[in-house]
Amino acid sequence: MSEAERTIAIIVAAGEGSRAGGDTPKQFQRVGGLALVAHAYRAFADHPMIDEVVLVVAPGMEAAAREAVGAEVAIVMGGASRRESVAHGLAAATARRATRVLIHDAARPFVPAGVIAAVAGALGKHQGAIPALPVVDTLARSDGLLGDVVPRTGLWRVQTPQGFQLEAIIAAHAAWPENEEATDDAQMVRHVGGSVTLVQGDPVLDKVTYPADLVLAEARAGPVWRTRTATGFDVHRLEDGEDLWLGGMLIPHSRGLSGHSDADVALHALTDALLGTIAAGDIGTHFPPSDPQWRGAESGQFLRHAAGLIRARGGEIEFVDVTIICEAPKIGPHRAAVTARIAELLELPAGQVSVKATTTERLGFTGRGEGIAAQAVATVRVPA
Ligand code: MG
């Protein structure tokens, strides 16, 4: 695609969608925790070949659309008919300097990235490109009783997104008779002599029309997850006469870490990383050092608390990684035990817990044996 090309996706979500049942227009009904229109929005907004997304909604639905999509999306008012709604979207795309548009129906929530790429890619050679699937069912005429079979050779099911050179679709709209409705933009382009090619469609693009389609869409959506990653860091001082707790294990050593709790620097770093994934503050927010009840406390409970907060939000811990930074003791001999203990505390398979150690080449406070540092990274997934 040339640098000068600018592709805008227009999602038409202005219909009433009454056939799908429910009080809400179907494009705002939720499947997998997200409104149908939001599924489609994400597919385009996340796609590298799409520069911007414009959403066309019925008057009065702007706030609902913004809430459903949860982003600073450009919103355009729909018109009295689908054709008018698309025309408003095209005007917005023109104002936003589009050279190409992909027009999509919000009732088709699941848009494979490959279909977007195929449609957008075909616009290098054609004025229009549409996804389509060959008809596989037997087709027949009927006036109540079975009539003749209609040969399905050469028959295609047309889907959206339909892609066009902006000039071609604007010209097609301008030429279309004022008082005639058009359900398909590609036919309008064809009507004025434009070339529209077919690209491979996808059954997941099928329209949500009836209540049963919402049930199928729910099954297709599954839960919608967001991946979150956060880091944690901690330092404690090494002192004589203290026990050394590291990663939930008592490690034999001449000195131990001092602090308000058991000073388990590895578990503190990891607790902060986990709290960070859900933006729930840090270990000090939940267990203030000023509170005497945490004096000498076993740090495993801090870690379990953080994991509990993630699970309470319906989240899952995917992976944790801890690096312990010290000259001594050697962590290698204890690595398996520490890994197993952290896995136990987090109720995770050991394969989702990584424990590493390093020295700082005798440099700095860790190198001089004044203290031990730890850093951690946690990756979780939470429902969107
Ligand atoms: Mg600490």
Ligand 1 mean position, distance from CA 236 (Å):
6
Above pLDDT 90, what percent of the chain? 75
Out of 221, 253, 272, a domain closes at: 221
Provide the pLDDT for residue 27: 87
Confidence class for position 17, pLDDT limits 50, 70, 90: low
pLDDT of 106-150, one tens digit each? 999 999 999 999 999 999 999 999 999 999 999 999 999 999 999
| pLDDT tens string 214-224 | 888 888 877 66
71 and 12 inside one domain: yes
Write down the pLDDT at residue 20. Answer: 54
Q: How far is the CA of 105 from the centre of ligand 1 (A)?
A: 53
Would you state the pLDDT for residue 23? 67
**Of the residues 221, 245, 270, the one at which a domain ends:** 221
Q: How far apart are the first and last CA of the chain?
A: 33
Q: Do 205 and 235 share a domain, yes or no?
A: no
pTM of the model: 0.61
Q: Please check the confidence at residue 18 and state whether its pLDDT lies above 60.
A: no
Q: Rounded to whole angstroms, how far apart are CA atoms 337 and 101?
A: 58
Mean pLDDT within 271-297 = 93
SS (H, E, C) 207-257: CCCCHHHHHHHHHHHCCCEEEEEEEEEEEEEEEECCCCEECCEECCCCEEE
The answer on pLDDT for 2 being more than 60 is no
The answer for residues whose C-beta is within 8 angstroms of residue 134's C-beta and 6 or more apart is 152, 155, 156, 157
pLDDT of 378 strictly over 90: yes
Q: What pLDDT does residue 267 have? A: 98
CA of 267 to the centre of ligand 1 (A): 8
How many CB atoms sit inside 10 A of residue 123's CB? 24
Average pLDDT over all residues of the chain: 92
CATH of the domain at 32: 3.90.550.10
Output the 3-class SS for 285-341: HHCCCCCHHHCCCCCHHHHHHHHHHHHHCCCEEEEEEEEEECCCCCCHHHHHHHHHH
Distance 81 CA to ligand 1 centre (A): 63
Lowest mean per-residue pLDDT among 22-36, 163-177, 282-296: 22-36
299, 261 in Cβ contact below 8 A? Answer: yes
- For residues 196 and 276, membership in a common domain is answered with no
What single-letter DSSP state applies at residue 61? -
Q: What are phi and psi of 325, to 5 degrees?
A: -115, 110
Q: Which of 60-69, 77-86, 90-99, 176-185 has the lowest mean pLDDT?
A: 176-185
Q: What is the pLDDT of residue 193?
A: 93
> What is the CA(371)–ligand 1 centre distance, in A?
12
Domain count, the chain: 2
Range of the domain at 341: 225-383
Check whether residue 144 and residue 28 sit in a common domain: yes
